[in-house]
Amino acid sequence: MQQHRLKGISSEMLFAARWYETIDDEKDSLISPTLDTGWDFMVASTGAKIQVKRHTKSKKYNPYNLDLRRKRNKGTGNYTGKEFDYIAIHDTESDEFIIADVKQLMRGDVMKQSVGIKSLQNLGMCQLVKLSTSACNAP
């Protein structure tokens, strides 16, 4: 497995760890798909789908730009905006997650191919839990 894939998996596992520190009830556990369906986790109790992305500051281009295009599954095309409800971006510079509703990634009916992470309204982990479940212990 390539190093960038391993780092992506580590960001997914970090998101899951922080999620489980935040929830109150086992019914709000995360489910992972067996195939790459365009989302990384689904909240068991509500079906809310979450896509986790890793952002490392670029030295070549806009340092705060996140490429949203699919790279591995070229045959499936880019995201349409229907695959997931929320995106959790692991900002490796701050080691925090930027949580955004998929609506922030859309230009009309089309998903943007890239987005500036500084331009997103960060809902925060607690707000994501509140929107996706019914309880939250996070500050």
The C-alpha atoms of residue 65 and residue 103 are separated, in whole angstroms, by 17
Q: What is the identity of the amino acid at 102?
A: V
Q: Which residue has the higher pLDDT, 47 or 74?
A: 47
Quick one: how far is CA 24 from the chain centroid?
Answer: 21
- Give the model confidence (pLDDT) of 18-43 as tens digits: 999 999 889 999 999 988 788 999 99
Q: Which residue has the higher pLDDT, 116 or 131?
A: 116
The C-alpha atoms of residue 15 and residue 60 are separated, in whole angstroms, by 27
Query: Given 3.90.110.10, 3.30.450.40, 3.40.50.970, 3.40.1350.10, which CATH number is that of 3-132?
Result: 3.40.1350.10
Quick one: how far is CA 7 from the chain centroid?
Answer: 14
Q: Which among 68, 72, 71 has a CA at the least distance from the CA of 111?
A: 68
pTM of the model: 0.88
Query: So where are the chain's domains?
Result: 3-132
- Give the model confidence (pLDDT) of 55-76 as tens digits: 998 777 788 899 888 766 555 6
At 138, the pLDDT band (50, 70, 90 cuts) reads very low
